[in-house]
Structure 1
Amino acid sequence: MITLDRRALNRATLARQLLLERTRDTALSVVRRLVGLQAQDPEPPYFGLWSRIEDFRVDDLTGLLHSRDVVRATLLRGTQHLVTADDYLWLRPALQPMLTRWQKGAFGKATAGIDPDELADAARGILARGRVSRPELGRALSERWPGRDPVGLARSAQGLLPVLHPPPDGTWGRRGTTPFVLADRWLGRPLVADPSPDDLVLRYLAAFGPASVRDVQAWSGMTRLRAVVDGLRPRLSVFRGEDGRELFDLPDAPRPDPDTPAPVRFLALLDNVLVGHHDRSRIVEDARRPYVVVEAPLTVDGFVRGLWRIERPAGRSRAGRGGEDRAVLDVRLFTPLTPAEAEAVAQEGERLLRLAAGDAGDHDLRVRPLDA
């Protein structure tokens, strides 16, 4: 059995994730290829697509949200993701066992003694009137169950019921009260009644492989996928990691030479390439994992080498706000850069500033050690 080292896994994953070379595919195609984008905050999905698509523009994604081709919902690991509408229809019901556990773990105290099906039916009845904000839903549910935490009741609906968060919520620069809509009404189509867990595993491997069973489970939040992977074994290629664990992959998936060059990339906060595996050493060292949970990472030669953020004067941090101000890309490094690496970071950083702060009067790049 072929053994794949850390660098081989890095290059294979970057190839699947379109991080070795930007694509000219549409934003819709890329969202589908990646099986979704982490979307706890509005801007990260835009940065995620920008790092992968040639000439990406903010409107490319915003338009898909308004046209309902892409939707925002609680999905993988119980976190907010953007996925294509077509994928939502099978992915949401496939993840229901995990979302049921998520609801119990996060809001079980708030809903103790309440029948989950009754809570879901009550929420559906309220949402049948159309778009309802999370506070409005919580207040309406608390009238049914007085004395219960309205936030816990409303957020439980995200795990128990297929609901979406329609635009402008989740679009570039837009934050506010999260609205809910029923998924089947928003999309005008029913969800898949009995989705196959095989599809979940196969789509994951196409986007994140080669990977172990624990990797698939860490990405999805699902458990007991060993039997599913074993059932697919005749259709898969099997490798071994340096630690001896089995790694599964699609036979025809790209696995580039480990020496393939990997360009500098400013990744989005919580980009799924960072959190899509149980063993994340293929892209970030274990000692650096706590940093990339709270700040966006910079990769050099395919591995996390630093963190980045954009600083602007107060009141100038949102797209569409004009004025002569300076936008500073602040880069903090774990290890020093070579002159060639520093030049590549500067060039890619200027591209990032044009996307994120194109209305700024001036751009600047500040590179310093992490502890400076």
Structure 2
Amino acid sequence: MLTLRDLNRATLARQHLLERHKGDVTDIVQRLAGLQAQEPRPPHLGVWSRLEGFERDHLHTALHARTVVRATMWRATLHLVTAADFAAFRPLLAPMLTAAARRFDEIDFDAVVAAADRLLAAGPMTFNELRPRLQEEFPDAYDRALGYAVRMLTPLVMVPTEDRWSYPREPAFGLPGIEPDPAGLETLVERYLAAFGPAAPADMQTWSGLGGLRRVMSGMDLERLAGPDGKELFDLPGGPRPGGDVPAPVRFLPDFDTLVLGYADRTRVVPDAYKGLVTTKNLRVRAIYLVDGFAAGTWQIKRSGKKARLLVSPFTPTPLERLEEEGLRMLAFAEPEAGTLSLEVTGGV
């Protein structure tokens, strides 16, 4: 049986949070099976915490070269994924995305997709530009429903710009120009476990938005392990499990980090006592920092003129000096133009 600390360390090893990965940015995005990217800055910080020597321009260059793309993927939300993973797994997600779109049953989905493909063939558009054009052709449809249907049903990628975090507040979307190369569910299971294992089918379902995974995983040549609560977990044969006594360094993870969103049962990283402090009632997932491998508080950045402050809100008392080195390095990456950097404890979350 795996202890909670065993499970924690196995997870951190695969997430490259015990030791930063030595490689390039496309490699780390592939190893993580993507990063949540609802907002532009968090995935950059997520990569910074996992990749040795990472600089903002490395991801910026990969996005402009389209070796990494920002697109609707897992859970019908925006992610950074490699172009190869977009080609392999976007077709696999189509039934889930179609089911999400069909909550608007008044729409002729085939006609809307055909119209969007035709309009976007002329060049990328923001959704504020695309929706009125669609409504001209479908005047009886709700414009937001038209936009949502296109997001779910039409494979699109966001168009990067020269903004600091590679995207403006209102980004344009375009046709991907990436030939589909569909992979099977078994391949996706292997990729998930390589990045998140050991895990239960419910964990992978929460991460991906797909169902029917217990049947798939049960039919594969996977290791079966007992988790801390005795529940069955699956893992790749020979997957890294370094043991619960391995030291875990302080790490700062951004809002909506893939580590938090990768499981139905998050106790391997976020103790139950603190889950309400990490995920808000409107489902925002706050930025957290890890001490000894587990969530020990939340953090946020406040910028005023040339001064940038990293405000930490501890769940449990932690000596400030344990957080300062990693925290101030992260702050310098996030706010490169700030002249003064500081780390402060704040009482509220």
TM-score, length of structure 1 as denominator length: 0.89
Matches within 5 A, 1:212-231: 212-231=200-219
Summarize deviations over 1:6-56 as a string: whole Å, max 9, x none.
111100000000000112211110000000011000000110011011221
Q: Output the CA distance in 1 between the equivalents of 2:267 and 2:231.
A: 14
Contact 1:98 1:221 (8 Å CA) reproduced: yes
How far off its partner does 1:154 sit? 1.5
Contact 1:9 1:210 (8 Å CA) reproduced: yes
- Match in the other structure for 1:308: 299
Contact 2:107 2:146 (8 Å CA) reproduced: no
Q: Identify unmatched segments of 5+ residues in structure 1.
A: 317-324
Amino acid of the structure 2 residue aligned with 1:172: W
Amino acid of the structure 2 residue aligned with 1:116: F
Contact 1:10 1:282 (8 Å CA) reproduced: yes
How far off its partner does 1:262 sit? 0.4
Pick closer, same or farther for the CA change 1:34–1:265 going to 2, 3 Å. Answer: same
Contact 1:217 1:225 (8 Å CA) reproduced: yes
Summarize deviations over 1:79-115 as a string: whole Å, max 9, x none.
110000011001111111111122234xx1xxx3322
Identity rate, percent: 44
Pick closer, same or farther for the CA change 1:169–1:210 going to 2, 3 Å. Answer: farther
Pick closer, same or farther for the CA change 1:174–1:125 going to 2, 3 Å. Answer: closer
Amino acid of the structure 1 residue aligned with 2:322: A
SS at match of 2:22: coil
Amino acid of the structure 1 residue aligned with 2:84: D
- Match in the other structure for 2:18: 20
Which of 307, 310, 333 is matched with 1:329 structurally?
A: 310
Q: Output the CA distance in 2 between the equivalents of 1:56 and 1:283.
A: 24
Pick closer, same or farther for the CA change 1:166–1:290 going to 2, 3 Å. Answer: farther
Amino acid of the structure 2 residue aligned with 1:120: V
SS at match of 2:342: strand
- Match in the other structure for 2:125: 132
Q: Output the CA distance in 2 between the equivalents of 1:327 and 1:249.
A: 42
Root-mean-square deviation (CA, aligned residues, Å) is: 1.6
Q: Output the CA distance in 2 between the equivalents of 1:96 and 1:257.
A: 38
Q: Indicate yes or no: 2:54 matched with 1:56.
A: yes
Contact 1:42 1:172 (8 Å CA) reproduced: yes
Runs of 4 or more above 6 Å deviation: none
SS at match of 1:312: strand
Equivalent residues, number: 344
Matches within 5 A, 1:1-372: 3-105=1-103, 108=104, 112-168=105-161, 172=165, 174-183=167-176, 185=177, 187=178, 190-192=179-181, 194-232=182-220, 235-293=221-279, 294=284, 295-313=286-304, 325-337=306-318, 339=319, 342-370=320-348
Amino acid of the structure 2 residue aligned with 1:115: D
